[in-house]
Every structure is written in C-alpha cells, then in structure tokens.
Amino acid sequence: MRIFRHVAGLPDFVQNSSVAIGNFDGVHLGHQAVINEAAMNAEKMGAPLSVITFEPHPRRFFRPQEPAFQLTPLRSKVRRLESIGVEQLLVVHFDDETSQLTHDQFVDTFIKSGFHAKHVTVGYDFVFGAGRSGDVAYLRERASLDGFGLSAVEPVKEAGGTIYSSTNIRNCLSDGNPAGAAQLLGRPWEVEGRVVRGDQRGRQIGFPTANISIEDYVEPALGVYAVWVGVEEGGVTSWHMGCANVGRRPTFDKVDVNCEVYIFDFTDDIYDKLLRVALVEFIRPEKKFDGIAQLREQIALDSHDARVLLEGIGLDDLRRVHD
C-alpha cells in the first residue's frame, strides 16, 4: 500500500480513483462495507482504489482534554486497511487549516483537485467541512455538478440488530465484553506497542511479564484477560497464548494504566520489540491483593483459566482475521 501525507501533487497513477472517505477508527465491519463498495466501483471502472482518512482524529483535535478514545491509532489502522486491499491511502493531517475548510473547499481540495475522483463512497452519516456543514445531501449536489459518482452506504447491522459502529465497540470494551467488540470488528480488538522495562516484579514471582503502554487507546474495562500475543520480528508475527492485566496494578500502588502480559511457554528477550495483544475474553476485574503470595496464587489461577479458554480458539482462525 502506498501512503501519502499531502494532497497536493498526488502522482498520476492515483488520479481518477474510486475514493472512500472517513475516519475509519477500528476499521470495523461497517467501515469495511464502505471500503468494499468503493472497491467494487473501482473494479467496475478499472480505476485505482484509494482511501482518505484523518490524523489526528478530528474529535481529538477539537477536544484534546478528553480521555483517549481511539480503537486503532494510525499504525494499527494502516495495517488493517492494507489487509483488506486498499491500494492508496491519503492521511490528511487534521490541523487548524484543515478544520477551517468549508464544505465546498473540502470537495475541491480532496475530491476534485486531489484525486480527480471518478467515484466517492462514504457512510450514510458522513459529515465534513467547518462546522460539519457538509453532508451526504451536499455531496450528491456536487456529484451531479462535477460529474463524479457517489455511494452512501447505509448502516450495517449484525444479526442481533446492533449497528457496526466505533461507539458500540467502545461500549463493549468498557463493559468488559471483548467478544462483543470482536463481533463488530470482525476480529479481536488489539493494542500494540513497544515492550518497555517495568519493575520486573513479575519475573521475581515466577511470571515474567512484558509491559506496553496503552495511553493512545480507549480504556477497556480494567482487569485480567485471556489474550493472544503477537511478537513481531523481521516483518513476521508469531502468535502465542497469554494472560494480560490491563490496569493500574493496585497491589504495587501504581496509578498509570498499562497492559502487562504474561506469555505462556515463552522465554525470548522481547524488550523494545513490537507486541500486539488481542483481547479475547475478560476473566476478572482488577483487584488489590494483600501480598505477593496471594498475587502469585491468583496469577496461576488466571493463567490456567486463560489457557483453557484459548485452547478452544484455533490459531488459524486468529491468523485469518489478524494477518
């Protein structure tokens, strides 16, 4: 996948694209429906498939004081978009200048001058331009005037009637329901980051753990999870069963939230390596223990429960949805 950071001067081979536009946080099944529609139009027209997304997320730009809410920071989003066949990605830096573009300037800048789009695909509720003044109705007017096609994809729902949406996925995660989030995402939700050195208390009590920061992610329910852990090296991801505590580690009077992972049957040195942690099942809420012995006993129980849960999930299934 080719990634562009500036709309000015896009190369000739992306011109006349079928373009999907959106934030695509999570790249969930609803987002995939939008991109699949753009891909079908690209195939019909013999046109390139391109996607426009925004970084940082406009919500973070306008409300920086709010807690982190993103499901997929940029690196994770890029990986998911590439995995579903996106050929070109324009990552628009959302700043003061971008935020002040009127709805007509937005179309002129990105759809007309940027890609000379043959077709544009958005979600039914897509809004854009200063003050969110542009919507699907306005895009229809411009499509008719400027000669590009337009598809607005209606909401997509799972069998139970729940709409595939980033908000519903966040709600699942905050409720300690990673399986529900996975149903809407089409894959387990994961966090990723470089392994950093912690206090090494896990190693001292017989359960060596890897620590990654999750400060850029929405905060899931704090507690212990059964997880699949992907260790990346040389462009290859190897997957292992594990148990993770997402929380503040109250037994040791910590206050920052991080993800502390115990990888089963694994002894490699992975400091500074990229770790991907896929949350599969919530085991229990985080709690404060009276001492190390009680904590050690609970970790052993949690690890047993996690292993039993994960043994019922085929690694081939995990690879299919992750890689």
- Asked if residue 178 has a cis previous peptide bond (ω within 30° of 0), the answer is no
Cα separations (Å) of 208 from 112, 216, 258?
A: 54, 24, 15
Query: Which 3 state secondary structure label does DSSP give 320?
Result: helix
The token pair that represents 289 in the structure block: 């223990």
Give dist(CA 48, CA 70) in Å, integer. Answer: 28
Nearest in space to 54 (alpha carbons), one of 19, 89, 104: 89
The letter for the amino acid at 27 is V
Active-site residue flag, 260: yes
* Nearest-10 crossing angle of helices 29-45, 178-185: 10
Say which residues have a Cβ less than 8 Å from residue 302's Cβ, sequence separation at least 6.
224, 243, 283, 284
Map residue 223 onto helix, strand or coil.
Answer: strand
For 251, list phi and psi in degrees, rounded to 5: -60, -30
Catalytic residue among 260, 281, 297, 311: 260
Is there a contact between 116 and 144 (Cβ–Cβ < 8 Å)? Answer: no
Rounded to a whole number of angstroms, the CA Rg of the chain reads 22
CB 129 within 8 A of CB 106: yes
Would strands 223-233 and 274-285 be described as parallel, antiparallel, or unpaired? antiparallel
Rounded Cα distance, 152 and 136, in Å: 7
Catalytic site positions: 260
